[in-house]
Structures are given as structure tokens and as C-alpha cells.
Structure 1
Amino acid sequence: MPPLSQPSGFSTPANCAACRESIRQGSQSFYMASLMLPVAIREPAYAVYAFCRMADDLIDRDEGGIEGIRILGQMLDRIYRNRPGPHFVERVFADVVERFALPREIPEALIEGLAWDAEGRRYETLEDLVAYAVRVAGTVGFMMTLVMGRREPNVLARACDLGVAMQLTNIARDIGEDAGNGRIYMPLSWLRDGGVDPEGWLAAPRYGPEIQAVVARLLADAELLYDRSLSGVAALPASCRLGINLARLLYREIGREIGRGVDPVKDRAVTSRRQKMRLLAEAAGGRISDLAALPEPAIHSAVSLIAAIAMAPPGRALPAIPPWWNVMGRSEHMIALLMGFSTRAPAAEASGRSSPLVLRPRPDTRSHR
């Protein structure tokens, strides 16, 4: 326990509790998997999730996300100057940035991908689609890997594989919902090769044989990435492998449900409670030790982001917030923070302005679920 005169970060137990609640309401699969992580990892993982959810909310507010991007840019300016504003997400994410040496290029790439969502961008090829998935999901894999104390390029590459696999699964699951919103994420060249006019299909979406073939190709590519990502899971700290492997199995099962006959135009593929329990047993009972795929090259559009992490200076290790049952430890942590506020007032507070950010729990959205 650090001396009470030395503040240990910007966030408070209440900030962390708010992040935990946002993930509990926002993504059951991610929340279930997170419970398998050690407490010291779980808190910063919730901070990562809360930042991603807030960024998605802000950019979704207006067409093209211009105002949301402006607000997020200002937030990153404050965070990377080590002067976060009063909003709880900003403060907990600032701790993640400092503790785990998270380069700005990673959240900026996430924001760029979410802006592509807001503008309704379409993707001609699988390579184009994967570049989008790296931004909105691979970046989450990078941040989670850093939180778990790994920053080796090969491990980061496999984390990105897992994020992209999850995103391809999301796309396959949500083709009907996306069509209802005038969006299409399936590679346009694949549709044309199958004789499908993208605009015509959007006007009257149906899960015909041609679309089934496109979805099957997406899920087959996702399966390859799920398999390759297992080497990255094996390279994580032993205490983290169960939680991440469970997340991997839960998302993969959604794709397999589609393969068993779910029509994603009309229905949303989900995993039942019984399936979740079976996958938990599989994750707990399986042996995760295969490192054979670890040296495989990274996805091309992820290479520059992995390089940015490699070039980042080491972070400053901050003591983790004590677990909820350590009442004395949490009280001392709060006192340390209060003592530090007089010398470290956020810019927004100093100017008399309140934060415009509001995090609203909602059902799963397209990205970083």
C-alpha cells in the first residue's frame, strides 16, 4: 500500500464500479468472460470496455460522427497530457493509458473505425473489411493484451486475430439488422460474384443461397482466425487464459449457430445458458498450451499499430485499486486520491465547465462487444 500522500491514479472505486455496471448491462458474453479474469486485470479491462462503448455512443450521435470525433479528440488530448477531465470513463481510461503505456495510435484507430461506421462506409474486398475490423475490434485486443501485461509483437498479432474473428462473427450475425439500417458489411465483390446486386438486396433482404454462401465464407475466415488466436491465449499469463479463451469460445459459438441453420436476416443468433455453461466447462477443462501459430505474420493492416506499441515508452506502474471486499484498502485509496486533487485539478473543473459525456448502457452494438 503506497503512502497516503502519494495518489495512485485518477480513478476512484466509484469510477470503476460505474465501468463494471456498463459492461454488465451492455454485453453479457464479455461480462461473463471477464468474471474469469483476476480482479487486478478485471478493473482495467472494464475501463477499456467503457471507453470503447462511450466512443461508439458519441460517434453514433450525428451522421458522420463529426462532433463525436471532436469531443473524443479533446478527451485524448487531456488524457495524453495526464490531465483527464471529471467524467468517470475519462479518468479510468487515463489510468490505463499511463499504467500500460498505451500509445495514442490505438484509441485513435478505434475512433477512425467507428467513424467509418457512422458514415456508412462499405467494403469492396475482404482485405478492406479486415482493415475496418482491425480498427474497431483488433484495437480492443491490443488494449486487453497490454492490460494483461503482454506487449510482445507476436502475442499482439494473435490478439488482433481474435478481435477480427469476433468482428466477422458479428457481421455475419447482424446482416439483417444492418440491412434494416441501410448498412452492408459483407464484401461487395463477394456479393457481385454470387450474382447479388448490393442495392437490390438492401431493398429486399433475404437469406437466399447466394447470401448463405457469403456468410459461410466470412465464418470460415473467422474460424481460421479463432484457431490461430489460441496460440496468443496460450502466451498470456496463466491467470488470464481461462477468461479470454471463454470469450473466444462464446463468440465462435455464435457463428456456429448460424451454420446450424439460424437465418440472420430474420433472427439473431445467440447462445443459450446451457451452451454458455458447456463452453465454460470446455474452457476450464481444455489444455491451452499450443504456441505453434504464435510466429505467424500479423494481419497487414495491424502491422503499424503493433509497431506503435513496440515504440511506446514504458508505463508507470500504479497500484491496483483494492478489491471490493478490502474496505480499508479502498478507503485509504480514496483518501490518497482526495489529497491529490488539490494539486491535480482537471482542466474542465478548473474552467468551471462540466463534461458533455454521458455513458448510456444499451444492448450490444456492432463493435467491441
Structure 2
Amino acid sequence: MIAPADLKACHAAIRTGSLSFHAASRVLPARVRDPALALYAFCRLSDDLVDEGSDKTRAVLSLHDRLDLAYRGRPVNAPADRAFAAIIADFEMPRALPEALLEGLAWDARGDRYATLSDVRHYSARVASAVGAMMCVLMRVRDADAIARACDLGVAMQLTNIARDVGEDARAGRLYLPTDWFAELRREPDAFLFEPLPDDGIRRMVSRLLSEARRLYVRSEAGIPALPRDARMGIWAARLLYGAIGTEVRRAGCDSITTRAHTGRGRKAVLMGQALLNAVSSSLMPRPAVLHAPPLPETAFLVEAAARPRTAPCRTSQLMAILDGLAAQDSTGRERMGA
């Protein structure tokens, strides 16, 4: 069970670090909201350590050690770590899910780029759908179809984030737009990073990302009625709040370089009301056929891990190979600095 003081600290971290999730979490039932806040706090901590730290490789290696200690029941003496260890014990959280998140963060630490939209979905599966699958576990949902739709929602949210943050990422030297889209325009990605401008080509790329996100948002909606009744409004709220970010990006002409989309309090209030209506009305409608659509190929391993944790293949060796490569790269870099 999560200690009250640790839960309070996790709540404070999310209130300032993830406004959209904080707004959506307020309408989740306490039995889901409290562990969800702890989960997001640990994920936020992980993301911030890698994204904002001066040594991304060291941050990822440290996070692996912290994750390992949490699964051994001996977490680092910090609120987010203690709370996450409690979640592991209370919900039998499959280790493959947080390890997938860590794998995505390791890709960030390596500075990976993604050649195709499928590659971007692979990345999104790890840094976002893994969290969606963990949310299903917190709701005691192990139905494969519901988890697949939650993973669709995770990819859609991450694609929205990427579309919104093109300029911010470029100025930090990061690129998540598929590089084959640049090749189609006969442009060099490095030239864009050197001088990021919202020209027609970049705007079309942002629009393509948002169109894929919209497709997956629609697919994800079919899974919400399969969740516990008292959790549906919160998930609808998350879906609508993130979808509204994409709408704002489009309103800015898909220019996410000179502007950064956000939704105001009034808009959020309207969307929360819409979430309530959707939660009620969708419960009364027949289950759409798309509920049973197979998972995206990029998220299938997450669905299997969450739905059938005892039979899902172990992926720890793949993560360890990536971490070993990062450690070797870090060691080589330090030797060169010393020389």
C-alpha cells in the first residue's frame, strides 16, 4: 500500500509536471487515481532525468538500477520509488511494461532517429503505450482487446506530443519526425535541425502525424466501455484533452515551431463535461467491432505482457543489450575525455 506521505509527494509532482493528466486524474475513482498518480510520478521522474539531465546515459543506467531495486522490494529512499514498489506488490505489475518504458528512454539517450512512421510508433509504444498498459493493470483489466485499445491511445497521445513539440525538440537537437518523410522532399534532417522553420514541408509532416493520431484516437474509444464504469470518464477526459492539443496545432496551421499549442481552463472545463457525456452514452451503445481489432504490430508485445504476464516472452535480455551498449559508449566517451 502506498504511504500517504509518498502519495502526497507524487500528487504534487504531477500537478506541476503533467497538467493534462492531472486534470483527467481528478475524475478517476480513488482506487485507480492514487496508484495512477504514483505510476505517473515515477514515469515523470524517469522522463525528466533522461530529458533534462546533463548525462543521459548515466540517467538511464541509474533508472534501471532503481527499477531493479523496486522489483526486489528494496526501493531507493524516495517517494516515487517507494510508491512504485508498492504498486508492483499490490497489482503484480508485469516487469516487461516498465522495462519497455526504460527501453524507450534508452533510445532517447542514444539520440535515435526513426526512419519510418512505424519506427515512430515503436518508440511511442515504449514511452506512452507502456504507461497505458500499466494503467489497465491498475484498473484490474486484463482483457487483451481493452489493453490493445489503451495502447492505441498511448501511441496517439505520443504522436500528438511529437507534433506539438517539433520546434522545441529541434532546438534541443532532437528529431522524431520520420526521416523518410524528409527524403521524400529531398531534404536533409540535419539542415532542418540547424535552422528549424515552419515551411510547407514541415507543416505537412505535422499534419500527417496528427492524422495518424486521430485514426488511433478513434480506435481507442472502442476500448473505454470495456473499462470499469467509474474509470471511464477519466480515460475519456485524457483522450479528449490530448486530442484538443492536436486541434490547437492544426488551428495554428500546423506550425509547432514558432508556437506551442495549449488548451485553456475554459476549454478544459468543456472537455471534462464532454467526457462525462461520452462515458454515459458510450456505456449504453453496442460494443463497436473495432474493439476486437488486433493490436498494432508495434504494441502487440505490451498487450501480451499485460494480458498474459505468466506466458509473455521475457524481453529483459533485449533491454540489457541496449543498456550494455550505452554503458560501453559512456565508458569510451569518458576515456577519450581523460585522454
TM-score class, shorter? 0.7 to 0.9
Letter in 2 for 1:131: H
Number of matched pairs: 305
Aligned-pair CA distance for 1:313: 5.2
Aligned-pair CA distance for 1:80: 1.8
Correspondences of 1:330-369 after superposition (within 5 Å) = none
Question: 1:173, 1:255 within 8 Å by CA — same for their partners in 2?
Answer: yes
Pair member with larger Rg:
1
Out of 264, 268, 280, the residue aligned to residue 260 of structure 2 is 268
Output one character per residue of 1:195-243: Cα deviation in whole Å (capped at 9) or x when no partner: 3321111111111111111111110000000000001111111101101
Do the aligned partners of residues 207 and 150 (structure 1) sit closer, same or farther apart at CA in structure 2, a change above 3 Å counting? same
Out of 12, 17, 23, the residue aligned to residue 26 of structure 1 is 17
- Give the distance between the partners of 2:224 and 2:181, measured in 1 at CA: 31
- Give the distance between the partners of 1:257 and 1:240, measured in 2 at CA: 26
Taking only the aligned residue pairs, the percentage that are identical comes to 45
- Give the distance between the partners of 2:276 and 2:121, measured in 1 at CA: 30
Aligned-pair CA distance for 1:191: 1.8
Q: Secondary structure at the match of 1:293?
A: helix
Out of 121, 146, 150, the residue aligned to residue 137 of structure 2 is 146
Question: 2:26, 2:33 within 8 Å by CA — same for their partners in 1?
Answer: yes
Out of 80, 104, 125, the residue aligned to residue 134 of structure 1 is 125
Question: 1:161, 1:229 within 8 Å by CA — same for their partners in 2?
Answer: yes
Aligned to 1:298: 295
Letter in 1 for 2:258: K
Correspondences of 1:301-312 after superposition (within 5 Å) = 301-312=298-309
Question: 1:23, 1:46 within 8 Å by CA — same for their partners in 2?
Answer: yes
Q: Secondary structure at the match of 1:196?
A: coil
| Aligned-pair Cα RMSD in Å | 1.7
Aligned-pair CA distance for 1:66: 2.6
Letter in 2 for 1:311: R
Output one character per residue of 1:286-333: Cα deviation in whole Å (capped at 9) or x when no partner: 22244431111111122122222233359xxxxxxxxxxxxxxxxxxx
Question: 1:64, 1:119 within 8 Å by CA — same for their partners in 2?
Answer: no
Question: 1:196, 1:210 within 8 Å by CA — same for their partners in 2?
Answer: no
Letter in 2 for 1:79: A
Letter in 2 for 1:310: A
- Give the distance between the partners of 1:194 and 1:282, measured in 2 at CA: 40
Aligned to 2:177: 186
Aligned-pair CA distance for 1:272: 1.6
Gaps of 5+ in 1: 1-8, 315-369
Aligned-pair CA distance for 1:62: 5.2
- Give the distance between the partners of 1:50 and 1:154, measured in 2 at CA: 27
More divergent stretch after superposition (140-149 vs 60-69) = 60-69
Matched, 1:288 2:282: yes
Gaps of 5+ in 2: 312-339
Question: 1:257, 1:270 within 8 Å by CA — same for their partners in 2?
Answer: yes
Q: Which fold has the larger relative contact order, with Cα–Cα distance below 8 Å and residues 6 or more apart in sequence?
A: 1
- Give the distance between the partners of 2:229 and 2:306, measured in 1 at CA: 23
Letter in 2 for 1:307: E
Output one character per residue of 1:48-81: Cα deviation in whole Å (capped at 9) or x when no partner: 1011011113334656733222222222222222
Give every structure 1 segment of 4 or more consecutive aligned residues whose post-TM-superposition deviation is greater than 4 Å: 61-64
Matched, 1:172 2:166: no
TM-score by length of 2: 0.86
Matched, 1:223 2:214: yes
